[in-house]
Amino acid sequence: MFDDGETSRLLDILGNRNRRRIIDLLRQKPCFVTEISDKLMVSPKAVIEHLQMMEEEQILSSFHDNRRRKYYSLTREICIDIRYGGEDTAQAVLPGGSREEKYLAALSMLARMLRTRDTLIANLEEIERDIDARMDEVVRYSQDLLSSETEMDLVLALAHCTLSLRDLEDYTGLEAGPVEQMLQDLMVKGIVEQNGNQYMLRGPYAEQPL
């Protein structure tokens, strides 16, 4: 059983859809940041923030494999059972009218939502194909620029957004020293730049308007 404070914090955490999606993914197997980011299509920075919050609450734990990649896993199974005080409180609110009118209104709304979802999925599939093509190009062209697979991971992480050294440590699962050295190498190559404690892609490598 949770006390009131712990229950409140747990509900705050589970109130976020992406944190629930991360938990569902980790129910299947332990994952590292890149894997979670790619599967859920959430930026690495957001994934790291969600993971850190849940690790602080001991919902998740982490470990390193023999390649020093940091994996996250569930420390306890979470099941929420919400009970309503009265029979009528769980009923959806629909426009006034007869039962048939409410049914038709709900059906019409469902049809619009399904069509919208189908359009979004079609657009997303096209974007995914474009991303795969660009990813192949990046891997092919980077062979003469980057020294390791981990450098590639850093560049791809920064392609999403600016990140701090701590974020990139969590992303790669490496300690600060090696990550900082790789960032220095990438800055010498003109691929990455630093602004305060944030790192980002530089110049022609940075995000370009579509």
The strand pairing partners of 60, in sequence order, are 74
Average pLDDT over residues 65-77: 81
Quote the pLDDT of residue 43.
83
Quote the pLDDT of residue 94.
43
Least confident of 64-68, 161-165, 185-189: 64-68
Token digits for 112?
């619009």
Is residue 205 scored above 80 in pLDDT?
A: no
Q: For all residues of the chain together, what is the average pLDDT?
A: 79
Is residue 184 scored above 90 in pLDDT?
A: yes
The strand pairing partners of 193, in sequence order, are 200
% of the chain at pLDDT higher than 90: 15
Q: Which amino acid is present at 9?
A: R
Give the DSSP per-residue string, 78-120.
Answer: -------SSGGGGSPP--SS-HHHHHHHHHHHHHHHHHHHHHH
Quote the pLDDT of residue 73.
92
Is residue 13 scored above 90 in pLDDT?
A: no
Domains of the chain listed by start with CATH number: 4-74 (1.10.10.10), 145-205 (1.10.10.10)
Quote the pLDDT of residue 147.
84
Token digits for 30?
């332990």
Quote the pLDDT of residue 81.
52
- Measured distance CA(107)–CA(37) in Å, rounded: 35
Quote the pLDDT of residue 1.
46
Quote the pLDDT of residue 4.
57
- Measured distance CA(144)–CA(131) in Å, rounded: 21
Quote the pLDDT of residue 90.
37
